[in-house]
């Protein structure tokens, strides 16, 4: 079994937080990044699913469905 390094734990924390739709600015601050663009650039592999979630929410709002 591969051991989780501190860097790996940091990466896992950020990935899970972003996948859980936590505010990227908050995640960025927790990681100590100078700005949120560093976080989003580094963890862009996480965002494709998040982009679909946002598109779905906007579509619901435009359609008048406020779920």
pLDDT in tens, 4-36: 899 999 999 999 998 888 999 999 999 999 999
Q: In the chain, pLDDT over 70 holds for what percent of residues? A: 90
> What 3 state SS string does the chain have?
CCCCCHHHHHHHHHHHHHHCCCCHHHHHHHHCCCCHHHHHHHCHHHHHHHHHHHHHHHHHHHCCCCC
For residue 67, pLDDT over 60 is answered with no
Give tens-digit pLDDT for 28-42. Answer: 999 999 999 999 899
């Amino acid at each position: 079994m591969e051991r989780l390094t501190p860097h790996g734990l940091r990466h896992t924390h950020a990935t899970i937080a972003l996948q859980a739709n936590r505010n990227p600015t908050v995640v960025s601050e927790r990681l100590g990044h100078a700005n949120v663009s560093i976080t989003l650039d580094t963890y862009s592999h996480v965002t494709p699913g998040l982009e679909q979630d946002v598109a779905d929410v906007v579509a619901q709002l435009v359609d008048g469905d406020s779920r």
